[in-house]
Amino acid sequence: MNAKSTLCRETLASIEPHLLSPEWREPRVGIVHLGIGNFHRAHEAVYTEEAMLAAGGDWGICGVTLQGDVAKRDALMAQDGLYSVIERGPDGVRVTVVRALKEVLAMPYDRTRLFALLADENVRIVSLTVTEKGYCRDTKTGDVDRDHPGIAHDLTHPQEPSTVPGILSAALALRREAGTPPFTVLSCDNLSHNGAALKQAVVSFARARDAALADWIDTQVAFPSTMVDRIVPSTTDADREAASHALNMEDAAPGPCEPFRQWVIEDRFPAGRPAWEKAGAQLVDDVMPFEIAKLRMLNGTHSTLAYLSMLAGFATIDEAIAHAPLKKLIHAMMTQEIAPTLDVPPSFDVLAYRDALLARYANAALKHRTAQIAMDGSQKIPPRLLATIEARLNAGQSIERLALAVAAWLVFLRGHADDGTRYEISDPMAARLTANVPDEPEQLVETMLAIKEVFPPELARRDDFRRPLHAAIVRLQGGARAAIEHYAALA
């Protein structure tokens, strides 16, 4: 049997049914994206290609890996930047080849090329999916963390930056010195007020270098906020096989995802943007109501499912939500504890959104691993759960199910499921979080609530938070499945 050919631009004519359109004009690079992972390739890149097909424009994408991932760069460039998006839904599998990615770079090896692009006036947007930890922020102030090793390096070696604040500051300095209009910086990370948060980190980094540069960035550079949504698991051999079967050629970098997608964008782009609204994105004046709804309803319950599942032994989200008591618990959590905290436009049907989320979780074709969602809890718990808890407590309302979610994370930190199966704690604070995980519930509460980087001291002191948290830990130590049944039965 002859070996299959590899996906590349020369093979496009033979896979026309898998293209968004047979029409295509190769664009120049207009967007540099930091963090070229599966999510970007199944989300922003698809929206951008559809926008160019609908309205034209030079919005080709240069993706950048920031962890020196030469293998990813080489795999994608061997395919001329092409890759397939594999949508897995109840109606089957759809394979689409995306052409918007023009180039892939790997830091620090391609620093010269990256900064040449960042200085090019044709590049009008720099977007990011680097997760919250990529912003290198001091969690107390929101400014850049000067004790972060990467930030300390970039401040002393500003021409050889490795962090996001360092790279953006250096690139904007080049454009300011050359008199080139600044690019727009577009955060697509799951982070509250992501545009404002990124701006504060970058401006505070720049201020440590050059006050005039910081003032220029503060007044001249747009950092619009966004809300992004699409479930995008890690790539598996099954995804590579699906791409190979559909295309009759090899794709080393397919990206699986669910059919659903959403993108809400604050419409502030002084240098221009793709016509993303023609691809279904919502361009709005204020992203915040949509962002909070997604953070609390989807991300909050996603984390809840993840930590309860890690303890109870559910490997994937669809397996977890198929457990009737857990589905009942999540439904009640969204309806009774989360939804009342939201302030959304009249056109936003919260209960319909709830039902859509439950249907998405039940997508058995996706196999979204709970271990993947359980990563980086110290960064995710505050915006996803603690903000909702504070809103409930300030309104004098109960938090039993929300407290169970936080308790599940604390018990999860012991590093093993109820049946003894051990798992790795993947978290930027893992060493500190796992150094002392007491078995006794009261000691566990005292130890963990003292971690100010996660728990705001004012919240940590509240008895109306500590009591239900302690009770939930006691329940979980009697077995996660029994705890799920108890909380699912609450009125």
Three-class secondary structure of residue 255 per DSSP: strand
**Domain 288-488 has what CATH class?**
mainly alpha
Asked if residue 491 has pLDDT above 80, the reply is no
Place of tokens 């052409």: 99
The pLDDT value given to residue 1: 41
**pLDDT tens profile 371-397:** 999 999 999 999 999 999 999 999 999
- What confidence score (pLDDT) does residue 30 get? 98
| Residue (of 88, 86, 102) closest to 42 by Cα position | 86
Instruction: Please report, rounded to a whole number, the percentage of residues in the chain having pLDDT higher than 70.
Output: 100
The set of residues, in sequence order, having a beta carbon less than 8 Å from that of 1 and lying 6+ positions away, is: none
The pLDDT-based confidence of 222 (bands split at 50, 70, 90) is: very high
- Mean pLDDT in residue range 10-14: 94
Give Cβ neighbours of residue 50 (< 8 Å, ≥ 6 apart).
20, 278, 279, 280
Query: Is the pLDDT confidence value at 92 over 70?
Result: yes
Beta strands at 226-229 and 262-266: parallel, antiparallel or unpaired:
antiparallel
Distance between CA atoms of residues 11 and 321, nearest Å: 41
Query: pTM for this structure?
Result: 0.84
Q: What is the pLDDT of residue 345?
A: 87
Query: Tokens for 458?
Result: 């004012």
- Tokens of residue 247, six digits: 């295309």
Predicted confidence at residue 91, as pLDDT, reads 87
| Level-2 CATH architecture, domain 9-284 | 3-Layer(aba) Sandwich (3.40)
Q: Per residue in 53-84, pLDDT tens?
A: 999 999 999 999 998 899 999 999 999 999 99
Stretch 197-218: mean pLDDT: 97
C-alpha to C-alpha distance for 184 and 199, rounded to whole angstroms = 11
Mean pLDDT (the chain) is 96
Mean pLDDT of the region 98-122? 98
Question: What's 418-468 look like in SS3?
Answer: CCCCECCCCCCCHHHHHCCCCCCHHHHHHHHHCCCCCCCHHHHCCHHHHHH
The answer, yes or no, to whether residue 178 has pLDDT greater than 70, is: yes
- Whether the CB-CB separation of 161 and 202 falls below 8 Å is answered with no
For the chain, give the longest Cα–Cα distance: 69
Is the pLDDT at 296 greater than 60, yes or no?
yes
Q: In 142-230, where do the E strands start and end?
A: 184-187, 226-229
Residue 214, pLDDT above cutoff 90: yes
Overall average pLDDT of the 270-293 stretch: 96
> Given strand 282-284, what is the order of strands in its sheet?
226-229, 262-266, 282-284
Domain ranges (residues) in the chain: 9-284, 288-488
pLDDT per residue over 112-159, tens digit each? 999 999 999 999 999 999 998 999 999 889 999 999 999 999 999 999
Q: Is the peptide bond before 108 cis (omega within 30 degrees of 0)?
A: yes
Task: Give residue 2's pLDDT.
Answer: 55
